[in-house]
Structure 1
């Protein structure tokens, strides 16, 4: 599969953010469901006065209720449309888009760029408070309340056993034809000394469905003392969903940033990302190929 842009078109990179609470996720769905993709595509069609919809490709397809501060997408526009609207596109989109989604940058993408397949990592943050009084009302749409005191050191000890390349089938909702092998590059908790809010930084080359929220759910069980620090790694090694792993609510999760390689490596990365991955025999979390 090639990332060459169709002749006469220009690939445009869009950097955007949104408050996910009133969206049914990123991806377009059945009629009547409000999605981020649908809002932006409708706005693009309107402000460029186009008769057709130009489809977006996104770095991370966030679920319903999940927020984004550093989301990246691309769209292929006819060269004449881009030339006519490029200088005023951001201002016109700001006037057309609803207040809970914003495009901050629109620029011609370098050769070989694909918002999804060229990415080398996605970084999410999940925010939790264990304040006995609950969540600050001004943050209620972005912070989860956990009604037990949390031990950050215990959660970080447990997190270390999950970092690396593994089959995360125990922490993902399985999808036909999709692998659950991922490289978890970073998983760490920090407590803000002023607010007391705990933030989990979760970075990986890619994520499978419900992976971040499942990992957070497992670590919260460790933090409040219901499970030992070695339990999340044991669940991972078992390779099957554990009913004790709760998928936490989506509103505490935000896509913070997407990383890409140098421009010269974009096309190669895109090709690499499309290849199915498998773990060598003997690697914890997987013993062979995964479909």
Structure 2
């Protein structure tokens, strides 16, 4: 099943022991009503508190026989306004939403203006300092490739290895919005937010472009400065082998789909 959600009200994706509000628990309860039996979900990527998704993929095992439309519409009838099921499909038994994924893609959206926005306040990260996108893009290029990203890894990260491959890290401006678009095989905990923090510092002129590479080479999280806020972060796409034939949707978030320049080098974006 494809899922999108606004993460502002939730303590992240994962169900919590203290029963605080989570996306997983909310979606499991809705799907259990459709199945008329308990449903346990597995997701492609566990997002943090306040982080959003427009391309999350989940799977669950069930004996309930429902059509794809019935799963999707039934879930949405039982879900709150800030979570939506976007598609559903029966899959072969060897499919797994997390372990069969070959790449994940995030977008981090910055609202760059002296005045804080009254709209989209918890869906973008506001930065009042004038940011130089060219400097940010030049610094971003130093992080692309296969590296040890220990300097961009949260202390509580449970990944077995800090070595990850960034396939692309693009920086583009669209009016007041600056978008960081990053695709990798997998990510470390807080990795995108830590990258965003470094790039914004460089964009503000507080550090030289070379600092991005210096932070990377240090292998020390303390060298990288402050972790950026979660508000502007979106899981926008999860990729799988072609054999699974998962439905394709636009690359979000929704309020960016009208920016044709964002889609110029990205045929997967529908405007």
| TM-score range relative to shorter protein | 0.7 to 0.9
Shift of 1:147: 1.8
Which of 182, 187, 193 is 1:213 aligned to?
193
Runs of 5+ consecutive residues of structure 1 not aligned to the other structure = 1-13, 267-291
Q: Which residue of 2 aligns with 1:92?
A: 74
Which of 122, 133, 150 is 1:152 aligned to?
133
Q: Does 1:122 align with 2:107?
A: no
Instruction: Give the 4+ runs in structure 1 shifted more than 4 A.
Output: 84-87
> Could you say which structure has the larger radius of gyration?
1
SS at match of 2:84: strand
Contact 1:129 1:146 (C-alpha < 8 Å) held by counterparts: yes
Structure 2 Cα separation of the partners of residues 246 and 118 of structure 1: 33
Inter-CA distance 22–129: structure 2 relative to 1 (3 Å threshold):
same
Q: Which residue of 2 aligns with 1:196?
A: 176
Contact 1:67 1:254 (C-alpha < 8 Å) held by counterparts: yes
Counterparts of 1:1-291 in structure 2 under 5 Å?
Answer: 14-50=1-37, 53-78=38-63, 81=64, 83-84=65-66, 86-110=68-92, 112-135=94-117, 137-174=118-155, 175=157, 178-192=160-174, 195-263=175-243
Structure 1 Cα separation of the partners of residues 104 and 70 of structure 2: 29
Shift of 1:86: 4.8
The aligned length equals 245
1:83-110 per-residue CA deviation (whole Å, 9 max, x = no partner) reads: 2465522222111111110111111124
Contact 2:166 2:183 (C-alpha < 8 Å) held by counterparts: yes
Contact 2:108 2:181 (C-alpha < 8 Å) held by counterparts: yes
Shift of 1:259: 1.1
